[in-house]
Chains A and B, each alone.
Chain A
Amino acid sequence: MDVEKAVKRAVELGASEAEAYLLNTAETSLTLGEVEASKTVRLKSFGIRVAIGKSTAVVGTQDVSDTGIESAVNSAVSIARVSPPDPRWVRMNGNISVKEVGETFDKATAEATPEDLLPIARGLLDAVKEGCREAKPVRGFLTSRALEVIYANTYGGPVERRETLAFLDVEARVDEAGEVGTYSDYSIARSYRKLEPRKTGVEAGSRAREFVKAGAIPNGKYGVITLNRVSDSLLPVMLNPAVSALNVQEGRSPLAGKIGLEIMSDNVTVEDLGASVNTLGSKPFDDEGHPTRNLTIVDKGVLETFLYDTYTANREGRESTGNASRGFSTAPRPSPHHLHLKPGDATFEELLEETKNGVLVMSTIGEWMSNPVSGHLNATITHAYMVENGEIAKPVKNGVVSGNFYEMFKEGLEMIGKDTRHDYGVSAPSLKFRSVTIASK
């Protein structure tokens, strides 16, 4: 049963509105290291959301046979019949169309076999040794993935989008006189042929050797440089939930009531690139079939807008920003497609040169445990360098970066680099902050 028929079937069964969402995924991946394996997975997942008046229900299934879909549609209608009405429900998205975002699909990546990926994996493992002869690749992945979404609802469709994605990552380890150094790096692209196995492997191998001698960071306050990839991991943790209109409306965002106010330093501009060419995360329509767009969320420090799906937009009587995001078995929620912090004009070397006594943070874990409701940021440093008089002095590890995210980005932000790193769903350059607390030994 296709998505249009599923929508019609829901209406026949008594739904006043219905939307159907079909997700096809195909993935081939290699696991690298001592234990090597390959796998290929093809999955079809179907979701149906129905409204009966103001009562709604969502049901998902991975049985996409006619009877499987019929059963899911039946369940959704039955659940909606007994669900309490949501007084804020207005209607599903009525603006179904697509935005031109360039090519998001690479046929070779969609059809890649383990044999196609093997030379890249070998190149990656060799590059680790090139980075350091004693380095051992202890863990890694190489994955190529294709996604296809087909969407229709009572008001229109079907619309269809496809995208491919390839990524690799590797962790290297060096043992020297009883001490251990490690480092990992990754590469992401639309096509597996655009991955950078050599650069990634060399970086992991050579850094792993440097970190054999990593010491402790003395407890204290420092000028802190977050390497671009660390900026990429911190920004979405704090901002994605805070700019969601749902969290704002439900009183769970520290940015509620702050539209038009300066929430960050005036050199900070943050965008959501929903409809940009060559941007990982941009797509022609969101998960409600609404066309995407590029939005400026923070303009020179001033909060301009939150991100809306149809439900949250209807609550305020405005148009969706095209930011609906969902899994096949859950209702849509607003979320950024690709959070982008605009680069400044400082080179990475200039950020270093301007740091008298500081810490260059190369890698963190646990940043996802930060609190986007209170705005308190925490990240545990696994790899960093002490910076003395503008130069990298020595490798260090183990310390907790802690502080209020918005204070860091308002009073604390000194310089913005121009070395943007593009990851899936986020891109940001290296950043330099003044006086950041690091708890350590």
Chain B
Amino acid sequence: MDGIKSAVTRLGIQRDWRYIATSDGVDLEYESSLLGFAHMSVAFEAGAMERVSDQESAVAGWEFIEGKDWNQFSASVSRLAKEAVKAPLPPSGRLKAVADPEMVGLILHEAFGHACEGDLVSSGDSILSGKLGGEIASPLVTIVDDGLAEGGYFVPFDDEGSIKTRVLAVEEGVLKSFMTGRETAGILKLQVSGNSRAQDFTHFPIVRQTNFFMMPKDYGFEEIVKEAGEGIYIVGRGATGGQVDTASGTFTFSAGPSRMIRNGELAELVRGVVISGSILETLKGVEAVGKDLKITTSAFGGCGKDNQLARVGDGGPHVMIRELIVGGG
């Protein structure tokens, strides 16, 4: 495509076989396959360069690859890169934000999911330590961790052999539970939720998220944008990830090419969008939750913790947040 200087396409195929036997009688085995297709395009115009990448993955068989026109997928990534290279940076400062399901997933995973991991809670490394039963989010917010969520990664049981149960972390704004493994469940006096996962046999199982997502409510997308009035629509396509300092509660993530919201409508494209915020303020600032739940996973990355990588899924519906810090020009 004209204007595209470089492109990389990747096919990701993972076969994961796990067998766990323990001295108290666990004898479990499962195998899953994760497939994905990723494309990155670098656009060049008038001395400026910009890259955009996107991926789609599923716990599925080869039919996932055969069932989609990947040429069209790659071409649309290239078109977005060409548009993004001409786009300005967003204004820098506090903005009202509408997040798409992928961004909601990333925000939840970074801004909240890690702080709900039982090992961080029990060691005092989470800002949520001691807050069970407290109101920590807007009453519109209900968050779950589910190892079998549609569209997400597949975790039927964890690497200590515990069955993965659905964790209701937040119900209508109230902090209800944490994710646990055997050890942290004992320390925190909670049920074992089956979240103790190891990258492979050379690593300790540590408490990890599986598919962490926000439950849908009743807003339509256009309704949310209209209600936002002025702000930024942050888009997950082309985002590169996020990170959190769970102890201080500061999180950050990058968004893909996004759009400003002006007069209740989507306006110009902006690039280089980086968001930052504080865990507790962000979830309290949720002002509208959409009805369009979407959960995704990736064969090309995952979540890093203690030098271990774990495949995860995340998502939610479209969500409006009162205020996020946007780093721009």
Residues of A within 8 A of B (CB): 31, 33-35, 37, 39, 41, 43, 136, 138-139, 141, 171, 173, 180, 182, 211, 214, 219, 250-252, 254, 365-366, 368-369, 371, 373-376, 378, 380-383, 397-402, 437, 439-441
Residues of chain B with a CB closer than 8 A to A219's CB: 92-94
A139-B123 CB under 8 A given contacts A180-B248, A371-B51, A401-B327: yes
* Given A402-B92, A440-B325: A366 in contact with B123 (beta carbons within 8 A): no
A37 and B8 alpha carbons, distance in the complex (Å) = 42
Known: A180-B127, A219-B94, A373-B50. A35 touches B250 (CB 8 A): no
Q: Is the CB of B325 within 8 A of A378?
A: no
Of the stretches B208-216, B224-232, B271-279, the one at the interface is: B271-279
Supply 19 A–B pairs (Cβ within 8 Å), ascending by A: A31-B204, A33-B123, A35-B183, A138-B125, A173-B124, A252-B42, A252-B51, A369-B254, A371-B272, A374-B50, A376-B89, A398-B276, A399-B325, A400-B326, A437-B328, A437-B329, A439-B276, A439-B327, A441-B325
Contact residues, B231-255 vs A (CB, 8 A)? 240-245, 247-248, 250-254
Contact of B49 among A171, A254, A440 (CB under 8 A): A254
With CB as the reference atom, state the residue of chain A lying closest to B125: A138
**A182: B residues at CB distance < 8 A:** 245, 247-248
List the A residue with the shortest CB-CB distance to B248.
Answer: A182
Query: Are A138 and B247 touching (Cβ within 8 A)?
Result: yes
- For B274, the chain A residues whose CB sits under 8 A away are 366, 369, 378, 380, 400, 402
Asked if B202 and A43 sit within 8 Å, CB to CB, the answer is yes
B6 contacts the other chain (CB 8 A): yes
Extra contacts, 9 of them, besides A365-B250, A398-B277 (Cβ < 8 A), are A34-B187, A35-B123, A35-B187, A374-B49, A374-B50, A374-B272, A380-B274, A400-B326, A441-B325
Task: Report the minimum CB–CB distance from B258 to chain A (whole Å).
Answer: 14
Q: How far is the CB of B318 from chain A (nearest CB, A)?
A: 23
Interface of B is mostly: strand
| Chain A CB within 8 A of B122 CB | yes
Closest chain B CB from A273 CB (angstroms): 25
- Whether A251 touches B5, Cβ cut-off 8 Å, given contacts A35-B123, A180-B127, A371-B51, is yes
CB distance from B255 to the nearest CB of A (A): 10
A441: chain B residues within 8 A (beta carbon)? 94, 325
Give Cα distance in the complex from A329 to B244, angstroms.
Answer: 30
Instruction: Give CA–CA (A139, B124) in the complex, Å.
Output: 9
Quick one: which of A251, A365, A376 contacts B244, CB cutoff 8 A?
A365
Is the Cβ of B276 less than 8 Å from the Cβ of A400? yes
Q: Is the CB of A378 within 8 A of B124?
A: no
Contact indicator per residue, chain B 248-274, by CB within 8 Å of chain A (1) or not (0): 101111100000000000000001101
Tell which of B49, B242, B250 touches A373, judged by Cβ atoms closer than 8 Å: B49
CB contact under 8 A between A34 and B94, given known A211-B248, A251-B5? no
Residue of A whose beta carbon sits closest to that of B278: A398
Instruction: Confirm or deny: B46 has a beta carbon within 8 angstroms of a beta carbon on chain A.
Output: no
Contact in complex: B48, A366 (CB < 8 Å)? no
Chain B residue with the shortest CB-CB distance to A208: B247
Chain B minimum-CB-distance residue to A136 = B124
Verify A369–B49 contact, CB threshold 8 A: no
Roughly how many angstroms separate A440 CA and B275 CA in the complex, as a whole number? 10
A84 to B27, CA, bound (A): 44
Contacts of B73 in A (CB 8 A): none
Which residues from chain B sit less than 8 Å from chain A, CB to CB? 5-6, 8, 42, 44, 48-51, 89, 92-94, 119-120, 122-125, 127, 183-184, 187, 202, 204, 240-245, 247-248, 250-254, 271-272, 274, 276-278, 306, 325-329
Report Cα–Cα, A173/B127, bound state, in Å: 11
In angstroms, Cα B274 to Cα A368, docked, is 12
CB distance from B93 to the nearest CB of A (A): 5
Q: Which of A136, A369, A383 has the most CB of B within 10 A?
A: A369
Inter-chain CA distance A401–B272, complex, in Å, is 12
Distance in Å from the Cβ of B120 to the closest Cβ of chain A? 8
Contact B248 A397 (CB under 8 A): yes
State which of A41, A138, A141 has its C-beta within 8 Å of the C-beta of B124.
Answer: A138
Q: Are B248 and A400 in contact (CB under 8 A)?
A: no
Closest B residue by C-beta to A372: B51
* Interchain CA distance A382-B250 in the complex, whole Å: 7
Q: A400-B276, A439-B328 are in contact. Are A378 and B254 (CB under 8 A)?
A: yes
Q: A41–B202 contact, CB under 8 A?
A: yes
Chain B residue at minimum C-beta to C-beta distance from A211 = B248
Q: Is the CB of A398 within 8 A of B125?
A: no
Establish whether residues B247 and A365, one from each chain, have CB atoms under 8 Å apart when the complex forms.
Answer: no
A381 to B250, CA, bound (A): 8
A366: B residues at CB distance < 8 A: 242-243, 252-254, 274, 276
Distance in angstroms between the alpha carbons of A378 and B276 in the assembled complex = 11
On whether A33 and B125 interact (CB within 8 A), knowing A251-B42, A398-B278, A402-B328, the answer reads yes
Residue numbers in A under 8 Å from B326 (CB-CB): 400, 439
| Chain B residues, CB < 8 A from A365 | 243-245, 250, 252
- List the A residue with the shortest CB-CB distance to B127: A180
CB distance from A433 to the nearest CB of B (A): 16
* Contacting residues, chain A, for B276 (C-beta < 8 A): 366, 380, 398-400, 439
Would you give the shortest CB distance from B245 to chain A, in whole angstroms? 5
Question: In the complex, A374→B52 CA distance in Å?
Answer: 11
Q: How far is the CA of A374 from the CA of B326 in the complex (A)?
A: 18
A35 to B245, CA, bound (A): 19
The complex places the Cα of A293 from the Cα of B48 at a distance, in Å, of: 33
Whose C-beta in chain B lies nearest to the C-beta of A363? B245
Q: Please report the C-alpha to C-alpha distance between residue A171 and residue B123 in the assembled complex, in whole angstroms.
A: 11
Q: Which residues of A contact B247 (CB under 8 A)?
A: 138-139, 171, 173, 180, 182
Given the complex of chains A and B, what is the CA–CA distance between A41 and B244 in angstroms?
A: 28
Residue from A136, A171, A251, A380 in contact with B250 in the complex, judged by beta carbons closer than 8 Å: A380
B122-A35 in contact (CB<8A): yes
- A331–B183 alpha-carbon span in the complex (Å): 40
Residues of A within 8 A of B184 (CB): 35
Inter-chain CA distance A17–B155, complex, in Å, is: 42
Cα-based distance from A219 to B323 in the complex (angstroms): 14
* Most chain A CB within a 10 A radius of its CB, from B202, B276, B329: B276
Q: A142 to nearest B CB, angstroms? A: 13
Q: Nearest Cβ in chain A — how far from B316, in angstroms?
A: 21
